[in-house]
């Protein structure tokens, strides 16, 4: 794995670690950062012969075009891609809070794309299939698995 790829993967890992320890509304920025790094990692392999074809038929690799659709929504439309998980309930004169993992919003909540890329259809199918409704970390970690597997093949 090249030095630049290793550094980008380390930056992505820092974002994932921050996401796993944060259950607040500030999570949106950390998710956006993880999406940026994952897309940068993905793009760094586009020149590799067969990369995109192999990625798009692998169950973990298929997550990446879906994450790109989420990244585009964050970058171009300032869309929040995750729903905060939690519930307040009455508790002996006050309130209690039950937190549960944040999830990715449905495709329709990302809003219309800023531009019509030839890859948009694939991105939206992969988002709906592999990202929407999932806990935040699951698709990110699957994408990481693909990136590491590709580089160490």
Yes or no: say if 69 and 110 are a contact pair by the CB < 8 Å rule. Answer: yes
Q: Model confidence at 96, in pLDDT bands (50, 70, 90)?
A: low
Q: What share of the chain is helix, strand, coil (3-state, %, to 5)?
A: 60, 10, 30
Residue 87 pLDDT class (50, 70, 90 cuts)? low
Other Cβ atoms within 10 Å of 31 Cβ, number: 26
pTM: 0.84
Q: How confident is the prediction for the chain on average, in pLDDT? A: 87
Query: Across-strand partners of 88?
Result: 97
Task: Tell me which H or E stretch contains 87.
Answer: strand 86-91
Residue count (the chain):
153
């Amino acid at each position: 794995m090249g030095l630049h790829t290793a550094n980008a993967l380390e930056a992505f890992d820092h974002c994932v670690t921050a996401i796993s320890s944060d259950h607040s509304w500030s999570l949106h920025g950390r998710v956006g950062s993880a999406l940026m790094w994952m897309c940068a990692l993905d793009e760094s392999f586009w020149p590799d012969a067969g990369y995109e074809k192999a990625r798009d038929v692998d169950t973990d690799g298929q997550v990446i075009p879906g994450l790109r659709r989420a990244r585009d929504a964050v970058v171009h439309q300032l869309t929040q891609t995750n729903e905060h998980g939690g519930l307040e309930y009455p508790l002996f004169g006050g309130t209690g809070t039950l937190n549960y993992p944040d999830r990715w919003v449905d495709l329709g909540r990302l809003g219309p794309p800023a531009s019509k890329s030839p890859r948009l259809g694939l991105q939206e199918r992969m988002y709906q299939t592999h990202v929407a409704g999932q806990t935040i970390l699951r698709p990110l970690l699957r994408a990481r698995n693909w990136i590491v597997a590709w580089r160490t093949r």
